[in-house]
């Protein structure tokens, strides 16, 4: 009996030790990734305080919307992308691009031949942090409030729907291509883009 208890305790300790060893490198890996994105931001000309503030903003978006950070100022969502502004700047730019490269392409601008996107902009006049929604699903905006804008540049006739915190429908966009350069995010907590 005593050898059985000892064996069980040993197995339990080995499992616990294995779990602790697995957790350690994962968090160390996350810190290394964060440090890499911060270094990329610094190499793109951001000050230490700008790079740190940008990484804090990324963390807040990851906590509320999920996704995976893929660049100092980009988060890949399941079916979308978040483009973040550098603190103090009006529009997102590509911090991972080569020097002199063009800024981010805005997939919703203009309603031209490249369409099938719904974009939500944190600020008015299609500026600020941008959520590009290109897969039909629900996207959450629990941290947004105040004035902002949106551009429904999806397939002709597609209507997006906006919902309040309780999940009730509060607004249907006009059919694509449609937009609002100065709307309110205060009542909106999620968008179903199709």
Cα distances (Å, whole numbers) of residue 49 to 16, 58, 70, 142: 39, 14, 20, 26
The closest of 89, 88, 129, 78 to 106, measured between CA atoms, is 129
Name the architecture of domain 109-192.
Answer: Sandwich (2.60)
Tens digit of pLDDT per residue, the chain (194 long)? 444 333 333 333 333 333 333 333 334 445 557 788 888 888 888 899 999 999 999 999 999 889 999 999 999 999 999 999 998 889 888 776 665 555 666 777 765 556 789 999 999 999 999 999 999 999 998 778 999 999 999 999 999 999 999 999 999 999 998 999 999 999 999 999 99
Do the beta carbons of residue 117 and residue 133 sit within 8 Å?
yes
Place of tokens 């939500």: 120
153: three-class secondary structure by DSSP: strand
pLDDT, residue 29, reads: 43
Q: Where are the domains of the chain?
A: 2-83, 109-192
The two tokens of residue 190 are 């999620």
| Strand ranges, E, within the chain | 68-71, 74-77, 80-83, 117-123, 127-133, 138-140, 147-153, 161-163, 169-172, 178-184, 190-192
What is the reported pLDDT for 112? 56
The answer to whether residues 117 and 134 touch, using CB atoms and an 8 Å cutoff, is yes
Would you state the pLDDT for residue 193?
Answer: 95
What is the model's pTM?
Answer: 0.78
């Amino acid at each position: 009996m005593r050898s059985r208890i000892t064996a069980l305790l040993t197995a339990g300790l080995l499992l616990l030790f294995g779990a602790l060893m697995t957790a350690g490198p994962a968090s160390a890996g996350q810190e290394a990734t964060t440090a890499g994105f911060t270094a990329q931001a610094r190499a793109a000309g951001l000050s230490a305080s700008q790079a740190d503030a940008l990484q804090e903003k990324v963390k807040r978006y990851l906590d509320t919307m999920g996704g995976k950070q893929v660049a100092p100022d980009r988060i890949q969502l399941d079916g979308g992308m978040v483009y973040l502004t550098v603190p103090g700047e009006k529009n997102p730019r590509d911090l991972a691009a080569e020097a002199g490269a063009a800024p981010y392409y805005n997939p919703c601008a203009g309603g031209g031949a490249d369409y099938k996107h719904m974009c939500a902009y944190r600020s008015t006049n299609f500026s600020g942090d941008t959520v590009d929604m290109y897969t039909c699903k629900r996207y959450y905006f629990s941290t947004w409030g105040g004035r902002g804008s949106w551009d429904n540049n999806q397939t002709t006739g597609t209507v997006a729907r906006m919902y309040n915190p309780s999940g009730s429908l509060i607004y249907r966009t006009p059919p694509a291509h449609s937009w609002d350069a100065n709307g309110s995010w205060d009542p909106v907590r999620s968008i179903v883009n199709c």
